Structure 1
Amino acid sequence: MTESCNTPMGFSLGVFFGGAIASALAAYPYQQPINIKRRRDKEGMPMAKEPLQTRKALYEQAQQQGIEGRSSMSKAELAAALERESFEDAHPVVATRIDTFRRLAEAVAAGEFVLRPRVLTGHDRRRHVRQCLREDHETRIAASSEEAEIKFDKLSDSLFSFFRGTALLFYRDMAGDDAWMPTVLTLGDVHPENFGVMPNANNVPIFSVNDFDESYYAPFTWDIKRGAVGFMIAAETEGELKRKQQVNIVRHFVQGYLEDMQRLAREGTEQDEEMRYDNAPKLIRKLFKAADENRAEWLAEDYLDETKSGFRSTEELVPISSRRDEFQKITDRLVKENDIEVPERAKGMRVKDVALRRGQGTASLGLNRYYVLIEGPERDGTDDLIIEYKQARRSALSGLVPPSAFEMDTRAERISHAQTAHLVRGDVFYGHIEFDGLSYMSRERAPFRDDIDLEDLSKSEWKEYADICGRVLARVHALSDESGNIDYDIEPAIMNAIGPPALFTEDIVEFATEAADRVRRDHALFREDHARGAFTQLDIVHR
């Protein structure tokens, strides 16, 4: 098979099949980020040289391009200056392996015997990790984003942050896996810090999954596997627990999922269940109490200026009040296009101010994020609302999951669909909209939006928390055939696919152990590469 995409040589799909050695998987010529522009026709073939031009014609071109000193240049100097300008303005073709991995996922799902990137070792694995992260951060690296550098520093400093911020690398190791398993609307990035307290449709705090950026229709096992590895790594880095304790925490996570899925298969009550303060386990009630904060105090302490009429300027918040009218129109469109039933506490949806939010998140660092201040009924800055607009990207699972009838390639619309499906009575301001040529999701920032402090958990609380999160995950999966696109009864299908629960649990434990060790090795390779400046440039295809 041949490549039709901009894929580095040596990583075509052909190397995955019979007789290919594992080390060939990541081999490709080293490519420096050089801008090259050669004249080619529409088919990409080199064109014949143009006829020689007069000095007058060259001067007119130099004038159009604003080349300084053109009046005193000779014909040869003008030609050289125009060539330099063309060289500097050229746009490089950035290497991508999206199509390669899509074909790999299809081959794995079809039952072909293929080699995976996860078998790579040594320098070959280093090159694979390096290219995955460059490709995943193409826009941010190309723009020399300050937050891209901050993100890479954050990934370097913490193994758990590295795991959280490298979902594409993680899922490329899983391309096409578990094709025979039932498909659900997965969260896509399950780990201990992607569960938390947030507002529901009535502005009442609830506990559930809280990050839908990577959501995608995929085998239900993909969320369990990602979550199991996330709990194992977090228990090590944040909880400072030994391997035996980490394994027990993973078992509690899986068993919590299986027990609640079995219960839901019997009772079918997933649409009526919501974890609030009055029905939450003791550990989660503690989180509700910790997250509780008066709105007026929250606004005054964290966001508003002295006049309470707009955002104050901080390292994290950059007011852009000049765009207020623009964001009023964007917000009006958001309400209309998403059929949002505006509650009384936001009636009129009058935009008071706009700010650029910096330095938030792990995977999303370097992506646009805006906060919009909406005037509350009191009109005195004590009951205002904050709507967040967060730039959306492709899901890390896109093109890697086994082919199915439920694939989604949209960005913010995919995210708002997942929130609507996973949270039956979720935040009313969740939606999607496009502006400035980009896709954004929206949601309300609330004074009680919070997640658990992992460093404060005792050994027993780690196991309890893992069990709770496993049960919550089962409930949102169970909603895939209620408010999602799945057209068959998902709970019994999952229970039938699991087989003996003890066997399934130990299979997940074994997967998590091996994957966590691989993440640890990848992190060491990444840290060395980052220190050498590997993530200030992209892989460029030279023609």
Structure 2
Amino acid sequence: MPSRAFAAEDDRAAGKAARALVPRRAHVAFGVPPRDPVEILEAQHATRDPELVPIRIGRMLETPFAYYRGSAAVMAHDLARDTATGFHVVACGDAHAANFGLFASPERRLVFDLNDFDEAYPGPWEWDVKRLAASLWLSGRNNGHSEGRCREAAEAAAGSYRTSLGRLASLGALERYYFQVEADALPKMARPAARKARARTSEQVLAKLATASDGGRERIVDQPPLVRHPRVRDMERMEGLFRDYRAVLRPDVALLLAQYELVDYALRIVGVGSVGTRCFIVLLRGPQGEPLFLQAKEAGASVLQTHGRVADVPWAVERQITTLGQGRRVVAAQRILQAQSDPMLGWVAGVAGEDGRRRDYYIRQFRDMKGSFALERLTAGESEEYGAVCGALLARAHIQSPGAAFIAGYLGSSSVYEESVARWARRYADLAEADHAALGEAVRSGRLPAETGV
């Protein structure tokens, strides 16, 4: 890898020069070709639990914003043909407004950051910004905000991304690396979510999800279809996977978890777009009988690769993201993009399922001081504030990639870029609403099954 010493100014200059080839106003161009969004979703179902697919569709039918949350593959397909400078970062891949949240740092402080990395992969920086901006427009419409206020929220996100990235690009690499947003620094609207997040512990989860069995040991309670034990419960095999997971952790965390005993595990549905992938919650007990819940979530290939058709990435970090399995990819991207990450974040690869398929998983703590904003309750002003915070955090994530001062040079100091992105976001919000209607028609015609209210 060539020397990066004193390269920031060269990167800025290269970004500024790129305006001649891809003007910032060009990002308003909207050229999504005709496609069948339902067909793209159907293709994803081939590897998912068929019993859970109707729940996924039912959740996506709730609102256009809910559809948008579950249709990252559709948007990646659309963005593959979109205006871009060609500069790649480690991208989140699904940076919509609901994928930012609160969680505990290793020091047990409450921080706010990106919190979903299932689709993370090296890709164009523009894709994350547009996914965030369009999500804010859709969320605003869902809340009854005027089109003008939706535009302001989208512009606030893209504008905050521009200004924050410019500031961060002027700092040293270590300063950028340590930058984070703690809950105490968030606007007043964050306080209710922060209070709820601080109350979320393994003890609270235990009270909701587990009960004593006849043998006196806790057992996770089946709550079909959301929580259920697998048809074959193999504790010996799960203990082996638990050992494999500990082997990839830092020595101090591995030693900590070696003191815990595996008690039970069960399948548990999560999210919107993730419904149908295999996701487990695992109950452990420590030496004083203290509970600990982990979550093991299936990791498939990123939609940026499968639908966005991202191929060659011209720098060394690509190897850190794309090798050693999909669970390792998610973990590596999370550690890069988050200012603070769960110390228990790990992975296992090639796990044989009940259907004989081998799958990769990533593992993290379950509900450890985790929280999110009720986006459906945000006022127009709060939505604009929220978008600005999310845009700043997205900039912090992207600036970790080598050469990202290129983006700062490209964006410059004017508002041209955010105005263009906001206009694009409105048109994509229109398209997402049309896709949501097409999904509803597919259900009414019997093409897709749906189970609502779950």
Residues 1:311 and 2:220 aligned together: yes
Matched with 1:414 is: 329
Residues 1:507 and 2:420 aligned together: yes
Q: Give distance in 2, aligned partners of 1:165 and 1:506.
A: 26
Q: Give distance in 1, aligned partners of 2:252 and 2:299.
A: 23
Following superposition, the deviation at residue 341 of structure 1 comes to 3.1
Matched with 1:398 is: 305
Matched with 2:93 is: 188
Partner amino acid for 2:329?
A: R
Residues 1:119 and 2:33 aligned together: yes
- Higher RCO structure, 1 or 2 (CA under 8 Å, sep 6+): 2
Q: Give distance in 1, aligned partners of 2:47 and 2:363.
A: 21
Following superposition, the deviation at residue 323 of structure 1 comes to 2.2
2:206–2:291 contact (8 Å) kept in structure 1: no
Structure 2 residue corresponding to 1:496, chosen from 409, 414, 425: 409
Q: Give distance in 2, aligned partners of 1:419 and 1:530.
A: 35
Partner amino acid for 2:209?
A: Y
Q: Give distance in 2, aligned partners of 1:433 and 1:137.
A: 23
Matched with 1:427 is: 342
Structure 1 residue corresponding to 2:264, chosen from 336, 353, 367: 353
Q: Give distance in 2, aligned partners of 1:288 and 1:180.
A: 38
Matched with 1:73 is: none
Following superposition, the deviation at residue 119 of structure 1 comes to 3.2
Q: Indicate how the Cα distance of structure 1 residues 314 and 514 shifts in structure 2: closer, same or farther if over 3 A, else same.
A: same
Residues 1:466 and 2:387 aligned together: yes
Q: Which digits, 9 at most, give the CA deviation of each residue in 1:369-421, with x for residues without a partner?
A: 11111213421xxx311111111111111052364325537421211111111
Q: Give distance in 1, aligned partners of 2:61 and 2:43.
A: 17
Matched with 2:168 is: 264
Following superposition, the deviation at residue 523 of structure 1 comes to 1.6
Residues 1:372 and 2:282 aligned together: yes
1:371–1:389 contact (8 Å) kept in structure 2: yes
Following superposition, the deviation at residue 476 of structure 1 comes to 1.1
SS of corresponding position for 2:304 = coil
Q: Give distance in 2, aligned partners of 1:368 and 1:232.
A: 31
Residues 1:160 and 2:65 aligned together: yes
Following superposition, the deviation at residue 504 of structure 1 comes to 0.5
Following superposition, the deviation at residue 480 of structure 1 comes to 2.2
Structure 1 residue corresponding to 2:198, chosen from 286, 292, 301: 292
1:228–1:509 contact (8 Å) kept in structure 2: yes
Q: Give distance in 2, aligned partners of 1:338 and 1:171.
A: 32
Q: Percent identity?
A: 24
Matched with 2:366 is: 445
* TM-score of the pair, normalised by structure 2: 0.82
Q: Indicate how the Cα distance of structure 1 residues 356 and 497 shifts in structure 2: closer, same or farther if over 3 A, else same.
A: same
* TM-score of the pair, normalised by structure 1: 0.69
Larger radius of gyration: 1
Tell me which protein shows more strand as a share of its residues. 2
Q: Unpaired segments of 5 or more residues in structure 1? A: 1-108, 110-115, 482-487, 537-543
Q: Give distance in 2, aligned partners of 1:499 and 1:529.
A: 45
Partner amino acid for 2:236?
A: D
Matched with 2:128 is: 223
Matches within 5 A, 1:122-201: 125=35, 128-140=36-48, 145-201=50-106
> CA RMSD of the aligned region, Å?
2.5
SS of corresponding position for 2:103 = strand
Partner amino acid for 1:166?
A: S
Following superposition, the deviation at residue 178 of structure 1 comes to 4.2
Matched with 1:47 is: none
Matched with 1:207 is: 112
SS of corresponding position for 1:301 = helix
Q: Which digits, 9 at most, give the CA deviation of each residue in 1:23-42, with x for residues without a partner?
A: xxxxxxxxxxxxxxxxxxxx
Following superposition, the deviation at residue 303 of structure 1 comes to 1.8
2:327–2:360 contact (8 Å) kept in structure 1: yes
Q: Indicate how the Cα distance of structure 1 residues 300 and 411 shifts in structure 2: closer, same or farther if over 3 A, else same.
A: closer
Q: Which digits, 9 at most, give the CA deviation of each residue in 1:224-260, with x for residues without a partner?
A: 00111111111111x2212111111101111111121
Q: Which digits, 9 at most, give the CA deviation of each residue in 1:249-296, with x for residues without a partner?
A: 101111111121111122332222222244444333442223221636
Matched with 2:296 is: 389
Q: Give distance in 2, aligned partners of 1:146 and 1:289.
A: 36
Q: Unpaired segments of 5 or more residues in structure 2? A: 1-21, 23-29, 353-357, 450-454
Following superposition, the deviation at residue 344 of structure 1 comes to 7.4
Q: Indicate how the Cα distance of structure 1 residues 430 and 178 shifts in structure 2: closer, same or farther if over 3 A, else same.
A: farther
Residues 1:326 and 2:256 aligned together: no
Q: Indicate how the Cα distance of structure 1 residues 176 and 459 shifts in structure 2: closer, same or farther if over 3 A, else same.
A: closer
2:281–2:294 contact (8 Å) kept in structure 1: yes
Q: Give distance in 2, aligned partners of 1:148 and 1:442.
A: 23
1:323–1:354 contact (8 Å) kept in structure 2: no
SS of corresponding position for 1:534 = coil
Partner amino acid for 1:271?
A: Y
Partner amino acid for 2:234?
A: R
Q: Give distance in 2, aligned partners of 1:197 and 1:340.
A: 26
Partner amino acid for 1:521?
A: A
Q: Give distance in 1, aligned partners of 2:329 and 2:240.
A: 23
